[in-house]
Amino acid sequence: VESAKRAAAYAAVDNHVKPNHVVIGIGSGSTVPYVVERIAQQGAAVNEKRWFVPTGFQSKELIIDAGLRVADVDSFPSIDVTIDGADEVDNALNCIKGGGACQLREKVLAEAANDFIVVADYRKNGTQLGTKWTQGIPIEVAPFAFAKVLQNLKRMGSADAKLRMGKAKAGPVVTDNGNFCIDAPFPLSYMKDPSELLVKIKLLTGVVEVGLFCNMCKAAYFGNQDGTITIKT
């Protein structure tokens, strides 16, 4: 799987991170380290003039560890290109994101970018959202409201919606923004129109951001088990 992630990341950087690009958004997860690795290989001469905007703590440390310059999105409201991972991508390039509970900042940078590019291994290449990633739609919620949001999600049809609990941490996962995360699986019939479901969930009081990225992704790169790449545009 790691070589598939690397192949997808390298191809995406080679095709979408141009020498004249100055501001680059770096996403979160286990595929983006290969994105940073490939960008660093473009050399100090071009990278010393660039700024790299992270989508969270992990992403920021990746940038710093690679010797690249970190910038705040505040200083660069518009970004040349953002490259990020995803938990599933359908044939219309809609994504489920938030497996790493970073989807708020990821969506801000995806929206701010001229080009939003997704990189993933073959396990994420789906036809309809919810078929490959079955853990549910990641939803960032204000801690004060989490029980009400859970109740409303169940009423909406997500019977198994649950608060994401820490593994190496007692209690719930807390995002880089100090919020909680709910994972809400919906029946596949609800997932046929991700844009519609996104709006319904986003309107629930207490929801901060929803891990459905619709009509945002310009291209998705998938590394396959046989070493080839699949590109969806």
Q: Which residues are catalytic?
A: 106
Helix (H) or strand (E) holding 159: none
CB of 97 to ligand DER, least distance (A): 3
User: Two tokens at 10?
Assistant: 């390298």
Residue list 67-86, contact with ligand DER (CB under 6 A): 84-86
- Contacting range for ligand DER; rule: CB under 6 A; set: 18-26, 94-102, 159-167, 168-176: 94-102
Our finding on whether 136 is near ligand DER (CB under 6 A) is no
Spatial distance between the Cα atoms of 74 and 210, rounded to a whole number of angstroms: 22
* Binding flag, residue 217, ligand DER (CB under 6 A): no
Q: Indicate the residue among 205 and 215 with the shorter CB distance to ligand DER.
A: 215
Choice between 45 and 174, CB closer to ligand DER: 174
Nearer to ligand DER, 100 or 126 (CB): 100
Yes or no: say if 111 and 227 are a contact pair by the CB < 8 Å rule.
Answer: no
Nearest distance, CB of residue 146 and ligand DER, angstroms: 19
Q: Is 27 in the site for ligand DER (CB under 6 A)?
A: yes
SS3 80: strand
Q: Is 102 in the site for ligand DER (CB under 6 A)?
A: yes
Strands laid side by side in the 137-141 sheet: 162-163, 180-184, 137-141, 207-210
Confirm if 168 and 223 have CB atoms less than 8 A apart. no
Backbone φ and ψ for 175, nearest 5 degrees, come out as -75, 175
CB-side neighbour CA atoms (13 Å) of 34:
22
Q: Which residue has the tokens 């990189």?
A: 119
Q: Could you tell me the smallest distance in angstroms from the CB atom of residue 180 to ligand DER?
A: 15
For ligand DER, the closer CB: 29 or 49? 29
Note whether 87 binds ligand DER by CB under 6 A: yes
Rounded Cα–Cα distance for residues 40 and 98 (Å)? 26
What does the binding site for ligand DER look like in residue numbers (CB under 6 A)? 27-31, 84-87, 97-100, 102-103, 106, 120
